[in-house]
Chain A
Amino acid sequence: MKKNILSIALASAISASVILTGCGSKEVPDTANADKITLTNVSYDPTRELYTSYNEIFAAHWKELKGQDVEIIQSHGGSGKQALEVANGLEADVVTLALEYDVKAVQDAGLIEDGWVNEFDKESAPYTSTIVFLVRKGNPKNILDWGDLVNDGVGVITPNPKTSGGARWNYLAAWAYADKLYGGDEAQTKEFIKKLYQNVLVLDSGARGATTTFVENGQGDVLLAWENEAYLSIKDYPDDYEIITPSISILAQPSVAVVDEVVDKRGTREAATEYLNYLYSDEAQRIAGDNYYRPSNPDILAEYANTFDLDVNLVTISDFGGWDEAQAKHFADGGVFDEIYEK
């Protein structure tokens, strides 16, 4: 019997080590002299087309600069989910996520050094967007501004701000409108938000899901959407939808950052930094504009005056005291968003 136990233990140990292998080597590769390097860009859903175009011009730019080929691996998914993956060890040289709060989660995991927000221009947001309304052609319910969303019989589609990073912008934009309307009276503002979410027919878990619900499945009268997503829907179905830009909205700033821990280990800091820096070049800014993101360079933005409604009054996240404060007040367990759903 003793021999038997021994062989069981031995076999356990061997197969466990077989299963657990795969922990890589530790040395830092010398990438500066390599012929080719790879960078991994972990991003969120709607930037797929943007970065596909951008990666091409960046590869050309880097070749010219260093004579080196660069291959960029893109990863897309829900912003919060992507942040979790990077925090849990997915090797990303750079993250380009939907909001600062998600990049901060990667920072909190010890992978990004403090001060990343000021590492690049415009608070590390090379392109921005805002929240607009997508309505059915001819705007049958005559929805022109946030106030029209709380009317009886208006069906609103927006994702759940608790599961979708992007949807937090929708919520905050509505809040900004009501806050201004009621001159800062919080009780009335809450009541407005509550009414708005009572008109929400389907609370999808992510932004793309909400678009599917509205566009493919024909639910609701108005979709609260990122401007770039709304333009993509219009591009696909020009005869079915219209974009309404409300009087007030929020400046959505998708954040970019170099993942310090990873680039130091892989020896890719220089390339990764340049990858994000080059997003501010005129060429890259135009690619952003072509993909319906608002370029952060005001001169380039002016070139797109025909595309975007530049008159909209945009509040920013600092008006809410920054993400930490907004998160704690509105979206944390027991926050305002939970309150409006309590019975």
Chain B
Amino acid sequence: MSAGSLTILVIDENRIRASIIEAGLRDAGHRHVTVIHDVAGIARRIAEIKPDVIVIDLENPNRDMLENMFQLSRAVKRPIAMFVDRSDQASIEAAVDAGVSAYVVDGLKKERIKPILDMAISRFNAFSRMARELEEARSELENRKVIDRAKGILMKSRGLSEEAAYALLRKTAMNQNRKIADIAQSLVTAAGLLGPLEGG
């Protein structure tokens, strides 16, 4: 059987991440991939889709409900178990670290599932990295804004050049073992409290 013959269900409330995983699975030749963002009515969907593999994110608070349903629900005809192989501790850790878990129907061979789990792990990690970089870029932009404002305050109140104002911020930060952006934020806050209302 080719990779494409497995039916895969991805449950993820995060639409962007879900689509990244879906794309990865399709690139790997899987043609039967369904993505669900909302678990309402999921028992019926599982009965319709009859997935061989279910991939779910660990942030999902419905995991307890889903696990119970996989074991008990009359709608889920085939027993579904968590993808766990005790001999493969590294794989389990990698999955939990990445924030993903997989469930499979009884009787599926490990060799067929492993590439799917590995794919999900790498895509989850890629997504986290992307989200982190985006967050870093955002906070970098915020930092630059507040440093510019602090420089402006110093230039105005102490008659410094832009270069000298920045040097003062940097020296203070080094002396206090803090970040320049933190010193700048303190200065902006203090100026707001002490001085005339800034910018109305």
A binds B: no
A positions within 8 Å CB-CB of B: none
